[in-house]
Chains A and B, each alone.
Chain A
């Protein structure tokens, strides 16, 4: 089961919800995946140990100039100007490449060989309390995060419950994180900016056909605006977290709310139980459907 925590607007508390949700329960089958690879932060709170890291790269072309006859077929198929013929020479621009392998497939001389471009790394570790975290880290200067996000998600064990921390926004990186999730939990900030971006994410999730619920963070900023929207859209509000300076201060120091504030722990446990209930129901409904 994959539960992805997303928001549209940045800074609404996705990471706070993800890491505290994981820490509020003691279950071996719950693992955390941080897919905000541009700015991963879950490790700051979970504090994993014995970290193993793996560089992640994608295929880019390298031309064997001995074999190349300068026919230009690779240039013709490439939509991204990543391989081009200039003054009787083949030039490649690895940073433009989307790894579609079109050039490799089209070359009549078998002159396009496989090279690689490093996108970043995937790290994995467990903290002292046994919470398992896998996270991606995009190389600074690299523009394409979706293939790295996809690599992080490839490491999800389908048997357990995976909590996925998504990047903000509604374009490719966020969509890559949300794709094929069983449930999307949207963390909404009750402000006009928050509501605007929440609505965009809800529209994206309709396209992706992922069931959706909302939690409201800092629930007293503009009370009512998210509730009103959720009611209109028929989306369940699973939990409300009140604004608290104490909570903000705990988070700012990289600490877990569930360890410092018992009342917060209760709210997160309640949220997890409701999520679990929803997922069990949908699983059963799915099995009946089959």
Chain B
């Protein structure tokens, strides 16, 4: 079994459009939407949800106003300014450290694990899709991503599915680290802008820290051929396997509007490019070592 994670650094470069296309091109795969706080894959892949379960993250503190003597001990101890002058804990600011509850002389603070999202296992015509919805303004997205990937691995093992494709979140922080850890290969989808180049360099540094073989494709490459060239040079100089360019094509958005993946919807230039990139990606994945499941 192998795992491919699609990331970008910069948001909005077309990760999800590329992932959705791969998910309809692959013969036997599981697709995971790891962009849990702005999940979009489900909008593109026709699916039926088979199972759902709640996701519990860390605990949060809550003051029982009847038991509280307003001594102020909790306010003094809280490092996150989460407790107001009238002793109400802001659940958004609460870090879940439990220090207030531990020290409260009246034991007036409850500290309980919170439900902070919902996980889904769905069936698409091309294989299972594992996705989630993180509650509004909830945290622990890294943990949720780890759990989704773990569920995907177990399902892959049960059903003998050889490939997991994961649509990663933007950035380089906690959920991204969770989405790329122990992947067999990464595909960076970038765009030919200075921002795209800058962000890709940071994502590549993360991939290097984790020692993961990395591929790169440039979306909307024709919007700025010069920067596209610079990105290609960077790839060459830094041991990134370049898998192709996707031209700017309005059919990418038309496919989105039609709730279909690009390769399902279109025969145009971008769709052709994505198909050829998928071939390259498969070939590259074939060269990475098989891991123990």
Contacts and interface: CB of A to CB of B under 8 A. Distances in A.
Interface in A91-133: 98-102, 105-106
A191 B16 CA distance: 13
Interface string A125-164: 0000000000000101111110000000000000000000
Interface stretch (B133-141, B152-160, B235-243): B133-141
Contacts of B279: none
Interface in B147-204: 169-177, 191-196, 198-199, 202
Contact of B137 (A9, A196, A208, A252): A208
Contact of B97 (A8, A100, A167): A100
A222 B253 contact: yes
Interface residues of B, number: 62
A140 B173 contact: no
B172 A38 contact: yes
B88 interface: no
A77 B100 CA distance: 10
A37 to B, nearest CB: 8
Interface residues of A, number: 58
A200 interface: yes
A39 interface: yes
29 contacts: A10-B11, A10-B13, A10-B38, A11-B11, A12-B11, A39-B11, A77-B102, A106-B102, A138-B172, A140-B172, A145-B171, A167-B171, A168-B12, A169-B38, A169-B170, A170-B136, A171-B134, A172-B141, A192-B40, A192-B259, A193-B256, A196-B43, A197-B40, A200-B37, A200-B38, A249-B223, A251-B193, A253-B224, A254-B194
Interface of B: 8-13, 16, 36-38, 40, 43, 58-59, 77, 79-80, 92-93, 95-99, 102-103, 134, 136-139, 141-142, 169-177, 191-196, 198-199, 202, 205-206, 209, 220, 223-224, 227, 253, 256-257, 259
